[in-house]
């Protein structure tokens, strides 16, 4: 039995304490069990806000992870890697994916030639070629394909979704196996490996932004953490005319730190104005500036990334009549809302966003990353930490202190 290092979280149980933290351990290297599976060597994985919530034993995640049928789970759902093996059905599908997804690359065109997927999959050098030239990532929401939503093509809201890293083994390990239909291939020089490692997260931001037609429009992005910053960059690439960004300093995460870190990047990514709404005069300035720059109408769209009900209140203040509010941030507790005043009479549309539209969101973000956004993320220091997997605690703590944005882990 071959073992690999992995980071796990124990299954929570009703009425029992769910202890904070992760555990670094050794697990058996997973092997292919079904013909539609691929085996992946993880080259880089990334810490997501959800992972921080699991680390801190957040109640909402405790409820979600009680469905585990194992005593623990390998966490992590953002990664980049290489395919090292595949079942017979998966191998044939990988050959078709190589033809469909990695177009226009001379070395790929030369290898593929005029061969069919069957001929490609039979080539004894197929995996050697993938190892040399192709990176992969995956849609880590594994869907059933049978429910009403899946049959309608709305896989992102499959009612039977299994999220790897929460409900099944994820990417904080040296290897993982996944259904081939969840895999995405990339030519190795198209997008940096480190950026592919958090495309899952970029996809959340992209899905939220693409839920509204932002081209030529005014947009307020509430929450300037990892998701807010990525949403700012995506909105700019998709043609947003004016972008207003807010966030809130607190405790050790001072106003100066906010200005010098998150707001500095937000401006580089396309924000015209940034406001620290924990300061009353800044909050009022936010409202005033939006009205001044939108002919007293308000913004066309609000992208809510903070998961804070105070930001919801800001959203209702700055959205124009007939505008759209898209919500990705996950708040705790409840909020009393005057539906007549805030939604019905002004004709506001509210959209809840979960995951990524398969594969539309992946297509959109792949295109804009290849056009220069990926290089911008790297050059501007969006990736603040690059650590060995064993230092996952260090990465988590840096995020919680506000000293990190995207944290990469290397198994």
Q: Tens place of pLDDT for every residue, the chain, 411 residues?
A: 899 999 999 999 998 999 999 999 999 999 999 999 999 999 999 999 999 999 999 988 998 999 999 999 999 999 999 999 999 999 999 999 999 988 889 999 999 999 999 999 999 999 999 999 999 999 999 999 999 999 999 999 999 999 999 999 999 999 999 999 999 999 999 999 999 999 999 999 999 999 999 999 999 999 999 999 999 999 999 999 999 999 999 988 899 999 999 999 999 999 999 999 999 999 999 999 999 999 999 999 999 999 999 999 999 999 999 999 999 998 888 899 999 999 999 999 999 999 999 999 999 999 999 999 999 999 999 999 999 999 999 999 999 998 999 999 999
The answer for 130, left when phi > 0, alpha when psi is -120 to 50, beta otherwise, is alpha
**For residue 368, which of 242, 202, 228, 243 has the smallest C-alpha distance?**
202
3-class SS of residue 67: coil
Least Cα distance to 65 among 103, 121, 14 occurs for 14
Query: Nearest-5° angle of CA 155, CA 188, CA 357?
Result: 15
pLDDT at 55: 97
Q: For residue 231, which of 216, 245, 248 has the smallest C-alpha distance? A: 245
Using left for φ > 0, alpha for ψ between -120 and 50, and beta otherwise, residue 140 falls in alpha
pLDDT of residue 102: 84
Structure confidence at residue 59 (pLDDT): 87
Please tell me the class of the 204-352 domain: alpha beta
Q: What does the block give as tokens for 249? A: 């300093």
Question: Are 317 and 275 within 8 A, CB to CB?
Answer: no
Domain spans, the chain: 3-197+380-410, 204-352
Assigned CATH topology for domain 3-197+380-410:
Quinone Oxidoreductase; Chain A, domain 1 (3.90.180)
- According to the model, what pLDDT value does residue 332 have? 80
pLDDT at 284: 98
pLDDT of residue 143: 96
Sheet with 319-327: list strands edge to edge.
273-276, 242-247, 218-222, 299-304, 319-327, 349-352
pLDDT value at residue 246: 98
Q: What is the pLDDT of residue 252?
A: 85
Q: How many CA atoms lie within 13 A of 223 on its CB side?
A: 26
Mean pLDDT across the chain? 96
The token pair at 190 is 């198209």
Q: Cα dist. 14→19, 65, 247 in Å?
A: 13, 11, 35
């Amino acid at each position: 039995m071959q073992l690999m290092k992995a980071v796990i979280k124990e299954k929570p149980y009703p009425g029992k304490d769910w202890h904070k933290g992760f555990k670094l351990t050794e697990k058996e290297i997973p092997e292919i069990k079904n013909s539609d599976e691929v085996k992946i060597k993880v080259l880089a994985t990334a810490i997501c806000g959800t992972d921080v919530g699991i680390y801190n034993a957040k109640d909402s995640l405790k409820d979600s992870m009680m469905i585990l049928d194992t005593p623990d789970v390998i966490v992590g759902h953002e990664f980049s890697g290489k395919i090292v093996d595949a079942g017979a059905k998966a191998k044939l599908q990988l050959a078709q994916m190589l033809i469909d997804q990695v177009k226009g690359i001379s070395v790929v065109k030369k290898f593929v030639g005029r061969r069919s997927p069957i001929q490609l999959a039979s080539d004894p050098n197929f995996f050697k070629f993938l190892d040399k030239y192709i990176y992969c990532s995956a849609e880590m929401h594994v869907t059933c394909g049978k429910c009403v939503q899946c049959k309608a093509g709305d896989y992102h809201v499959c009612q039977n979704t299994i999220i790897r890293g929460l409900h099944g083994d994820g990417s904080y390990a040296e290897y993982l196996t996944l259904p081939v239909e969840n895999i995405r291939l990339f030519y190795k020089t198209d997008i940096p490996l480190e950026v592919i490692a958090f495309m899952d997260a970029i996809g959340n931001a992209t899905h939220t932004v693409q839920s509204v037609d932002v081209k030529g429009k005014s947009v307020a992005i509430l929450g300037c953490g990892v998701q807010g910053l990525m949403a700012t960059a995506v909105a700019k690439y998709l043609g947003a005319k004016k972008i207003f960004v807010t966030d809130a300093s607190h405790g050790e995460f001072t106003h100066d730190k906010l200005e010098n870190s998150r707001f500095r990047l937000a401006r580089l990514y396309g924000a015209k104005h940034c406001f620290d709404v924990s300061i009353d005069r800044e909050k009022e300035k936010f409202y005033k500036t939006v009205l001044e720059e939108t002919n007293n109408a308000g913004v066309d769209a609000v992208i809510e990334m903070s998961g804070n009900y105070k930001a919801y209140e800001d959203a209702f203040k700055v959205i124009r009549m007939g505008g759209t509010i898209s919500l990705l941030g996950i708040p705790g507790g409840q909020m009393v809302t005057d539906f007549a005043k805030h939604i019905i009479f002004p004709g506001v549309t509210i959209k809840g966003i979960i995951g990524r539209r398969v594969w539309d969101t992946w297509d959109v973000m792949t295109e804009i990353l290849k056009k220069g956004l990926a290089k911008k993320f790297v050059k501007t220091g969006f990736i603040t930490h690059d650590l060995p997997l064993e230092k996952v605690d260090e990465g988590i703590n840096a995020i919680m202190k506000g000293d990190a944005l995207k944290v990469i882990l290397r198994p």
